[in-house]
Structure 1
């Protein structure tokens, strides 16, 4: 049942700006409006929240973080309900949930017949020139060779391409150790989706395209597949990350490890990083869960756009790649901040 505060909120209807774009709306809800709220594991959500809470600079947030550190197991739901209010933010666009993951590739610290596709550090001239060379120019010229820019070598150029899309991952070395890499910069060219290109060419319908479908097509068509990868001129460089234990998740936009199925990437123009968000993902496998906005992404744009972190490895990648579902996302904001977001304080 819709709460009284939600019914009173003037932001509940979408207004249009003078340029025709939908204005941002803020609608205060009650916790009873959140489908499945009582059934979630709030302790797990609180653990993820604590991971980045100390990065807030504002006194009210820091006070909440101090309280969060004192919450005993089993009391997390009461903490959220006492100090926060749910706020539904909209900008006239439907919600869309997708998933992302941390790839795990096989690799080596030295080049071999098997491991011959390098992960590169960013060269100085790429930082000084924006845009720099395209993907095709980088990979078909000798500009990167003989300069010690290789971090590691992997055995699959298609997996390396998707590692660049994800921006971070782990390399399973031949000695059994793990090497973690993170985003180290880019060549400055805009990202162009090869999935969209396959649809444009009539090879697949939009509903058929997924990461696995793209990988299989490129492998079945080596020459055309290589050309397809060059369709995306953007090229990502990496850096080696030594500070994160292998069992922890990759670094998100807050420079802290993200947590599988508790961290979500959002558009910070609408959802501040670090805030708890209630996810109501519909579709074939509905999900109702309290997560934390701890990451961003170049394709994550809009008030109701979110990318759920599924974890590390192939299974996480397969699950993340299938996700493209509607629903809604609701922020949990400190009480005073929540009411300040609504016109006239309603």
Structure 2
């Protein structure tokens, strides 16, 4: 039951406010998760925990650990979760290469404590899905393959985020003309030829809608006529605002909200090519790609943590709140069964990616893999879910301040194409 914990959190908020907002240098540590409520639970109380594949979760966690060991946190000083994960990663590295299912489960139960996490102003979490498209294409233009996927333009300037760190898909992007910085070209301008010779084409594909969805997903596999697969990954964006076209279809009464999915969007574009082209151009955002030569055909897309994602185990999260590498257990009913049938999704995930629409402590995007089938499943997912974050046992959430709540943007429903 959450009510007592929420009341305690609100009392703590009031205490902080009366004390001047916690500005005293000797106040409690900053909150582990801003704008969130943590409720302790037990592993034995998690639906599906005992039957999960902890070996797969451990393998995914170890991949994140390799990055945690060699790279600093996204912020300086590093967050306490980041610092606490590093010694756990060292102990994970000392486990046998194939420790067995029981040992993998025991590892997570020994090293972490589970806490249900929710936003202060929302009782439930929210889940969507994403995938890596696979399309046919060519290195050269032809009558069949005439839609370009561009490399990063030579004149594109992407801002460094405040506080440092690598640029993100929320960073501003510009071009310089006569010593002045101007907004970079939007989607319509680029499609009309504004890039000129500023960018190379990394691949030509058949369908403009496939290019559009590749931009949204941030990666794509291009299968060439000789069978070779080009792995293309995100390498920058134009800095223009992202508009979910699923929302436009709903607002215009063209697709009912309850029937909105990625397949519904594709179906509308295919049935109405001219209107579909104009609809896609309403999304001014545009993404550029690089050939990921370090990836094999078996590797997943590269996430924001900088490593290949694992289908069904990698989770995109709000990186301003969660630390990459954090284990998060999901408890939800999702349409992942045959013909979209609902079934339990009770699985230990690892935070390894992010997205511009992933905002909040209990907001996640599940990576479902590559290809059309994965895309169909991912496009159906827009559902509530329970988020249980596994915190290192060295941390004590009770010592963390709870910040005063601020208004939060509503998470749009039925926008399965949003990343």
TM-score (ref. length: structure 2): 0.75
Tell me which residue corresponds to 1:70. Answer: 94
1:25-174 maps to which residues of 2 (within 5 A)? Answer: 25-56=37-68, 60-71=84-95, 72-74=99-101, 75-91=103-119, 92-93=121-122, 94-127=124-157, 128-129=174-175, 131-140=183-192, 142-146=193-197, 149-174=200-225
Secondary structure at the counterpart of residue 252 of structure 1: coil
Answer whether contact 2:152 2:199 (CA < 8 A) is retained: no
What 5-or-longer segments of structure 2 have no aligned partner?
18-33, 73-81, 158-173, 176-181, 335-341, 403-419
Residue 147 (structure 1) shift: 5.1
Task: Select between 183-192 and 64-73 the one with higher mean Cα deviation.
Answer: 64-73
**In the alignment, is the contact (CA less than 8 A) between 1:11 and 1:26 conserved in 2?**
no
Q: CA, structure 1 residues 182+200, in 2 after alignment: closer, same or farther (shift >3 Å)?
A: same
Instruction: Output the CA distance in 2 between the equivalents of 1:12 and 1:35.
Output: 26
Displaced runs of 4 or more, over 4 A: 6-18, 340-344
Task: Give the TM-score, by structure 1 length.
Answer: 0.90
- Tell me how far apart the structure 2 counterparts of residues 117 and 216 of structure 1 sit (CA, whole Å): 19
Question: Within 2, Cα distance between the matches of 1:148 and 1:230?
Answer: 20
Q: Separation in 1 of the partners of 2:112 and 2:396?
A: 8
Q: Offset at 1:325?
A: 1.6
Counterpart selection for 2:390 from 285, 307, 332 = 332
Tell me the residue number matched to 2:357. Answer: 299
What is the Cα-based RMSD across aligned positions, in Å? Answer: 2.3
Shift of 1:9: 5.5
User: What do the CA deviations read for 1:138-171 (whole angstroms, capped 9, x no partner)?
Assistant: 111x333445611010001101100100001110
Matched ranges for 1:178-193 at <5 A: 178-193=229-244
Q: 1:304, CA displacement in angstroms?
A: 1.1
- Check whether the contact 2:131–2:374 (CA below 8 A) recurs between aligned residues: yes
CA distance in structure 1 between the partners assigned to 2:279 and 2:265 by the alignment: 10
Residue among 275, 281, 299 paired with 2:326: 275
The answer to whether the 8 A contact 1:270-1:302 is kept is yes
Residue 7 of structure 1, CA deviation: 9.4
Asked if structure 1 preserves the Cα contact closer than 8 Å seen for 2:61 and 2:350, the reply is yes
Q: Is the 8 A contact 1:101 1:309 kept in 2?
A: yes
The 3 A distance-change label for structure 1 pair 36 and 343 is farther
- Give distance in 1, aligned partners of 2:250 and 2:127: 21
